[in-house]
């Protein structure tokens, strides 16, 4: 083909390609060739960001690195922003004890089971799921874990593409091994049309995450923009080795916002130290994505 003229066949071929692409079920943020990419070293690893918004990738990678530099223990994070087509990772494939953030996965696995059984949640399941997410009730989680069973959790993980998550052994759901990358996939799945969970199931999960009790709304909501609808689930767990595990995952939607993040940490001397690590990262992410 020469010059600027495009044949009718070529136009039709291009239209077919565009149409086919529009039919794809998107479970992860679309990432066309990035307008910018950047990586910033921090404590032996790198914060890597890509973005379609000029200047955002280097700003985010540097600010996240500064926020995490010198913090006690180890941390990991992953973020997406659909508006600017931004994605950042820091040790996103490293495994951490889940603590209570796994409760979103338990909920999603239960919802998938109800869909496959063509039934609604029972009133008892509604009470259990509400207590599990909004109050982080452990007894409710144990009851639901037994109901879904590890095989049911694994079934959902496979469908969701969360290939690096390993359900906790012998009923120890809080010791499920998670990664920031997989937790971000879950946040994306809850906020995107897909074949794993229906719109009704996703709406139910997000509504519960929006209703988390006030004293558990720390973590990734720190610094969230005014007007954004915040959906969060936190986890905290002290162990004899490597101190506190403090994790936080969430999504931020509405008023022009459409992004999510997962921030995981281990090895903090106190819970407050772990919360500070998570919130230092969250604050700079919110600031850079919304200003």
101: tokens are 């953030």
Rounded to an integer, the average pLDDT of 74-84 is 98
- The answer to whether residue 21 scores a pLDDT higher than 70 is no
- The answer to whether residue 31 scores a pLDDT higher than 50 is no
- The answer to whether residue 49 scores a pLDDT higher than 90 is yes
From residue 190, how far is each of 11, 77, 225, 258, 266 by CA, in Å? 36, 18, 20, 12, 26
Cβ count within 10 A of residue 207:
13
Residue 24: the pLDDT is 35
**128 falls in which pLDDT band (50, 70, 90)?**
very high
pLDDT, one tens digit per residue, over 218-234 is 999 999 999 999 999 99
- The answer to whether residue 207 scores a pLDDT higher than 50 is yes
The closest alpha carbon to 55, from 41, 71, 37, 74, belongs to 37
Pairwise pLDDT comparison (10 vs 258), residue with the higher score = 258
Residue 35: the pLDDT is 76
- The answer to whether residue 123 scores a pLDDT higher than 60 is yes
| CB-based burial label for 250 (10 Å; 0-12, 13-18, 19+) | buried
Q: What is the mean pLDDT of the chain?
A: 91
- Residues found in the chain: 291
Residue 26: the pLDDT is 38
pLDDT, one tens digit per residue, over 141-183 is 999 999 999 999 999 999 999 999 999 999 999 999 999 999 9
52: tokens are 């379609």
**196 falls in which pLDDT band (50, 70, 90)?**
very high
Task: Yes or no: say if 191 and 201 are a contact pair by the CB < 8 Å rule.
Answer: no
Lowest mean pLDDT among 16-20, 71-75, 122-126: 16-20
- Percent of the chain whose pLDDT exceeds 70: 88
Strand order in the sheet with 244-254: 36-42, 45-51, 86-90, 74-81, 257-268, 244-254, 229-238
pLDDT, one tens digit per residue, over 243-290 is 999 999 999 999 999 999 999 999 999 999 999 999 999 999 999 999
Distance, CA of 181 to CA of 262 (rounded, Å): 8
Residue 136: the pLDDT is 98
Lowest mean pLDDT among 2-6, 111-115, 136-140: 2-6
From residue 198, how far is each of 128, 152, 191 by CA, in Å? 20, 17, 11
Residues 6+ apart with CB under 8 A from 42: 64, 65, 68, 69, 90
DSSP the chain: --TT---HHHHHHHHHHHHHHHTS--SS---PSPSEEEEEEETTEEEEEEESSTTHHHHHHHHHHHHHTT-SSEEEEEEEETTTTEEEEESTT--EE-GGGHHHHHHHHHHHHHHHTT-PPPHHHHHHHHHHHHS--HHHHHHHHHHHHHHHHHHHHHHHT-TT-BPPGGG-GGG-EE-HHHHHHHHHHHTS--SSS-HHHHHHHHHHHHT--GGG--STTTTPPTTPEEEEEEEEEE-SSS-EEEEEEEEEEETTEEEEEEEEEEEESSHHHHHHHHHHHHHHHHHHHH-
Distance, CA of 66 to CA of 288 (rounded, Å): 13
Residue 122: the pLDDT is 98
């Amino acid at each position: 083909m020469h010059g600027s003229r495009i044949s009718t066949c070529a136009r039709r071929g291009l239209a077919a390609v565009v149409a086919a692409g529009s039919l794809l079920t998107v479970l992860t943020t679309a990432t066309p060739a990035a307008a910018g990419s950047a990586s910033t070293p921090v404590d032996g690893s790198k914060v890597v960001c890509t973005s379609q918004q000029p200047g955002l990738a280097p700003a985010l990678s540097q600010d996240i690195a500064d926020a995490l530099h010198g913090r006690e223990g180890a941390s990991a994070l992953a973020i997406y922003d659909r508006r600017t087509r931004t994605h950042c990772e820091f040790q996103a494939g490293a495994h951490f004890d889940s603590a209570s953030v796994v409760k979103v996965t338990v909920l999603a696995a239960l919802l998938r089971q109800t869909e496959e059984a063509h039934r609604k949640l029972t009133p008892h399941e509604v009470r259990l799921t509400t207590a599990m997410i909004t109050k982080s009730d452990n007894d409710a989680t144990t009851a639901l874990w037994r109901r879904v069973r590890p095989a049911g959790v694994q079934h959902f993980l496979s469908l969701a593409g969360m290939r690096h998550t390993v359900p906790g052994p012998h009923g120890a759901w809080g010791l499920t091994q998670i990664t920031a990358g997989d937790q971000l996939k879950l946040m994306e799945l809850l906020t995107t049309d897909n074949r794993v969970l229906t719109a009704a199931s996703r709406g139910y999960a997000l509504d519960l995450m929006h209703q988390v009790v006030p004293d558990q709304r720390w973590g990734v909501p720190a610094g969230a923009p005014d007007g954004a609808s915040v959906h969060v689930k936190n986890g905290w767990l002290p162990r004899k080795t490597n101190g506190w595990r403090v994790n936080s995952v969430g999504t931020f939607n509405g008023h022009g916002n459409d992004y999510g993040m997962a921030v995981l940490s281990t090895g903090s001397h106190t819970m407050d130290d772990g919360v500070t690590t998570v919130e230092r990262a969250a604050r700079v992410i919110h600031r850079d994505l919304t200003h």
